[in-house]
Amino acid sequence: MSKISEKEKIEAAVFRRLLEHLRSNTHVQNIELMDLAGFCRNCLSKWYKSAAAELDVDLSYDEAKEEIYAMPYEEWKKKYQT
């Protein structure tokens, strides 16, 4: 296993901060993110799954969404999707 570089540590910290920001701003809907930024929480889930696959980590799309949303996606939709 290779040593994690300082750059990778910083990138990971930034990613965690982005997730925290999205989780604390649940009033911002995915469609709004997509319209304004060109990506949404579901895009992050797909990228997360893709990155796992590149490392030969078996992860389903639902598991990736749970990592991004910090709960099962269906639960998040019931609580926050308008």
In tens, the pLDDT along 44-78 reads 999 999 999 999 999 999 999 999 999 999 999 99
Backbone angles phi, psi at 11, to 5 degrees: -60, -40
Please give the full DSSP string across 27-80, using - where no structure is assigned: TS-HHHHHHHHS--HHHHHHHHHHHHHHTT----HHHHHHHHHSS-HHHHHHHH
- Quickly tell me which residue has 């078996």 as its tokens: 58
The Cα 21–Cα 63 span in angstroms is: 20
The correct answer on CATH 1.10.3340.10 for the domain covering 6-80 is yes
Report, as an integer, the average pLDDT of 21-50.
Answer: 98
Q: What is the pTM of this model?
A: 0.90
Delimit the domains of the chain by residue range.
6-80
